[in-house]
Structure 1
């Protein structure tokens, strides 16, 4: 797909809504080891792509490392509602063949991925994968590994693995993967959520009447 044909990435939440989530994730009411808002964005996009649906109670507990100290039910409903809407919006954008807008610049500069929001987002995405890893790899493990490799590579979570270390040193490759991240998310969605079209059975050809008897 050329740049002229590529659809413009679509934001999954408004800037003000992301700012609200950022303030909440950055507050002392959230476990210090929980993901930040960038990681949470990646986590929820992974849940939008995932081959199996995860109950909200399970992903909320994983995302926050337990239950945050919400001030009241209204705040709980507002924060969890925004997170669920981010996930649902990602599904709607991807289902229509669109690209999700990611909340950071798609360039590394001179930095290692794990030192940038790109690495945080991909680490959050992989946390979403780990939530039900068996479902991601059960159908076609080789295809899943290939499709997830860019996210694994950019997350910095696998740098200790020898195969990954060599790839992580290829800065040109990493830069290319970063610019392709929205398209790579769509590729994953199409792989897991859009079943291949089943060819329609071809109707049997009827032999024209009198064909075998020759012309009169």
Structure 2
């Protein structure tokens, strides 16, 4: 049997359905993220090296203020969004893999035409909220770690450097299967500082004879 733990759900099915119903309703801007994009967006915020103020990410996610029916609905929806983000942090902090809301396979379909592409596009929208925070420490490492999400998102297909990735279907399939592990790798890179080696204890010199002295 494999020792790999099962992916950790970030919300239960009823909670995801509640969010889906609201995000798909006419009370939300047509430009707002759907459920799949929202899931990726909030996982990116869980990984983000710096905290993004809720007012900032809520406005970006909804592309404006939704028409909540009352304060109770507003509290419920915003609470579910924050719970998803918080649960992602808690899972990653324990070294657990997040459960993603789709099958980890492209089935020979272009990523941007699948929920996988939508999720990765949502993830990258979360990155765009604070690009300096993601890239300022080590731009090369950040670009390498984010490359799979960029390639699968469909947002960078016009980039010349991306052609090698996007035309290699076998490689893309491999990245899809690894997405939960890639999220954890990013979290460990940004949120868990590297261990500093403990200083070696100084060895005591054995007591020897003094010149001209007794033992």
Shorter-chain-normalised TM-score: which range? over 0.9
CA distance in 2 between counterparts of 1:47 and 1:70 reads: 23
How many corresponding residue pairs?
214
The 1:28/1:208 distance shift into structure 2, 3 A limit, reads: same
Name 2:81's counterpart in structure 1. 83
* Deviation (angstroms), 1:166: 2.8
Name 1:11's counterpart in structure 2. 9
SS at match of 1:10: coil
- Structure 2 matches for 1:43-192, cutoff 5 A? 43-192=41-190
Name 1:31's counterpart in structure 2. 29
The 1:167/1:113 distance shift into structure 2, 3 A limit, reads: same
SS at match of 2:201: coil
Q: TM-score, normalised by structure 1?
A: 0.95
* Deviation (angstroms), 1:102: 0.2
The 1:211/1:42 distance shift into structure 2, 3 A limit, reads: farther
CA distance in 1 between counterparts of 2:209 and 2:57 reads: 66
CA distance in 2 between counterparts of 1:208 and 1:12 reads: 59
* Deviation (angstroms), 1:209: 3.0
Q: TM-score, normalised by structure 2?
A: 0.96
Matched, 1:194 2:192: yes
Compute the RMSD of aligned alpha carbons: 1.6
